[in-house]
Every structure is written in structure tokens, then in C-alpha cells.
Amino acid sequence: MSRRFPVTRTRVRSADGTLIASYRAGRGPRRIVMAPGLGTPFLTWHYLIEDLGERFTLVTWDPRGTYGSEVPADRSRLGVEDHVSDMVAVCRDAGFDRFVLGGWSMGVEVALEYAHRFPAQVEALVLIAGTYEHILDTALGLPGGGAVARGLLRLARLLVPWVGPVVFLALGSNATLRLLGRAGMLMNNAEFFAGMVREFRHLDFRTYLRMIERLDEHSAAPYLGEIGVPALIVAGSEDRVTPWTTMEALHRAIPGSEFFLVPNGTHYVLVEYPEVVNLRIRAFLDGIETRGSGRA
């Protein structure tokens, strides 16, 4: 995937025995772990690796039940706590014991939970386009939208055997991509996004929808005020999945955090405007390094 930096792919065994596909890229001495979103293909991290790979070594993984990672034998094991267990196995395999921890979408909740459980390992947080609790409460951006979203999700799970093949074909269509653009799901870099969508359509949608339900159960709200490391929160002004106001609330709840709002950015701001987002991430990470050198 990366044109400048080779990617090493391995499989590690999580605490419940599930095999997890992990990826390592970059050659820098500093370490960064990126917790993936719901159905995030590895392609998502392309621009971040290209930008940071000279100074950082980046590790990430396929969420259980997606792409190269196994579906767990117990299909209820798809919650945030299970993704954290997968991250523990991935970091142990990589030899990472202290690092910058980032996350996109679902990865924000995974990163927050990991930082809560293992604070000594986390140098800083980079949280991109993701909520901190009950994802379906804010997904529609409407009062009472959570109840509607949960009902639609239950219906979708029942219909997967019939609509799955249709979804597969639709997500391979340029017309669908144009429709997503008109719906405000994407503002820029449509060709790259099309590559992500082509990978996404190969998911086991029954597992994917169950993962959304389990994610909706989680809340990091009780411990946000206890986070004691620098944190950068990146939001898109046009995000329909995680409204920027939700991320602003996350910013207010984490002491001393920084908030960066990308105009016209959607939920896919990381690949829509990579130059802008990566520049801000770099400045944040440089500031951490400078402050660390000052303390030394």
C-alpha cells in the first residue's frame, strides 16, 4: 500500500484465541498505534503512513471479524473490551510498551478504553472523527435518533441474507459513490475513497452490524476527566456519522485537550484532506516531543 515504506503483516492470537491481522509500517524511532474504525481497511492509513513514516513506526490491525482477522468463535465477543484485548496482543507482538495512541471512528472508543486501562503505556492521544459513547445516539444527528437507528439496525440484521448481495453490487458502482457525495458522506478525494469502498463491500455484514450494536453499549464518559496525557481531537464540520459537536464535547471533557475542526470535512476527513489533517497531527506530535525534550 505504502509507496515509500514497506508494510509487514503478521497474525497474532488475542486473549480469546481469535487470530488478528496486524500491520507495521514506517521506519522511524517513535511509535504510534492507530486503533481502526468499524470495517476500516488498511488502505485508510495510507496518507498518515506516507507522512509520518520517516519519523514513526506505525502499527494497526484489522478489527476482529473483518478482512484478515478471524470472526471470533463466540460471536458475542465483538465489543470494545474485545478490541482492546486485540490491541494488547498486537502491541505485545510489536514490542510496543509506550507509544502515541490514535484512533479513527470506532477506534476513538477503543483508544479511550485502552488509555483508561493502561495509562502508563500511552504517551498522547490522537482522536479522529469518533464519539466517546453510545454511537447510535448521535449517528443521525437528530433528537431521539438513537431509538430510530437501533430499530433500523435490528431490521438490517434480519435482511442481511437478502440484501447482502445487492449491497455488494451497489458499493462497486460509481453511481453509488456519486450518491454518497450528494448525501454529504464525502467531500473530497473520491477516487481514493472508491478504493476503500471496494474493500468494504467484502465484509461479513452480519458480523459488522453486530459489532455496531456492541459498540453502542460502550461509554467512556465516566473517566474522560481522568485522562492525563496530551490529546488532539480532529473533527469534520460536515460529519454525519459523528457530528463535530459530539467531538467538541469530548474535547471539553478531556482536560487540556486540543480541538481541530476541518471545514467541509466529513467522517472520512482523514482521507479527504490528508495534507491539512496530517499537518495538524504533525504539529501536535512535534509539540509533545519538544515538551518532552524540555523536561529531560
The model's pLDDT over 234-251, given as tens digits with 9 standing for 90+, comes to 999 999 889 999 999 999
pLDDT tier for residue 136 given thresholds of 50, 70 and 90: confident
CA distance 276 to 150: 34
User: Which pLDDT score, from 0 to 100, does residue 288 have?
Assistant: 87
Q: Kindly state whether residue 65 falls inside one of the protein's structural domains.
A: yes
Residue 151 lies in a domain: yes
Query: What's the domain range around 205?
Result: 7-295
Mean pLDDT over residues 89-101, rounded? 97
Q: Which of 202, 177, 198, 201 has the alpha carbon at shortest distance from 188?
A: 177
DSSP code at position 236: E
Per-residue pLDDT, averaged over 157-179, amounts to 58
Least confident of 101-105, 141-145, 286-290: 141-145
Average pLDDT, the chain: 87
Task: Establish if 180 belongs to a structural domain.
Answer: yes
Residue 1 lies in a domain: no
CB crowding 262-292: b at 16 or more within 10 Å, else e: beebbbbbbbbbbeebbebbeebbeebeeee
**What b-and-e string marks burial along 125-135, b requiring 16 or more CB atoms within 10 Å of the CB?**
bbbbbbbbbbb
**Is the pTM value of this prediction over 0.75?**
yes
At 206-238, the pLDDT tens digits run 888 899 999 999 999 999 999 999 999 999 999
Q: Kindly indicate the confidence band of residue 37, based on its pLDDT and cuts at 50, 70 and 90.
A: very high
Residue 266: CATH number of its domain: 3.40.50.1820
Q: Are 251 and 261 in contact (CB under 8 A)?
A: no
Task: Assess if residue 45 is contained within a domain.
Answer: yes
Per-residue pLDDT at 46 exceeds 90: yes
Give a yes or no: residue 2 inside a domain: no
The reported pLDDT for the residue numbered 169 is: 46
The C-alpha angle with vertex 81 and arms to 78 and 87, in degrees rounded to 5, equals: 95
Number of domains in the chain: 1
The answer to whether position 15 is within a domain reads yes
Please tell me whether residue 49 adopts helix, strand or coil conformation.
helix
Q: Rounded CA gap, 225 and 205, in Å?
A: 35
Predicted pLDDT at 294: 43
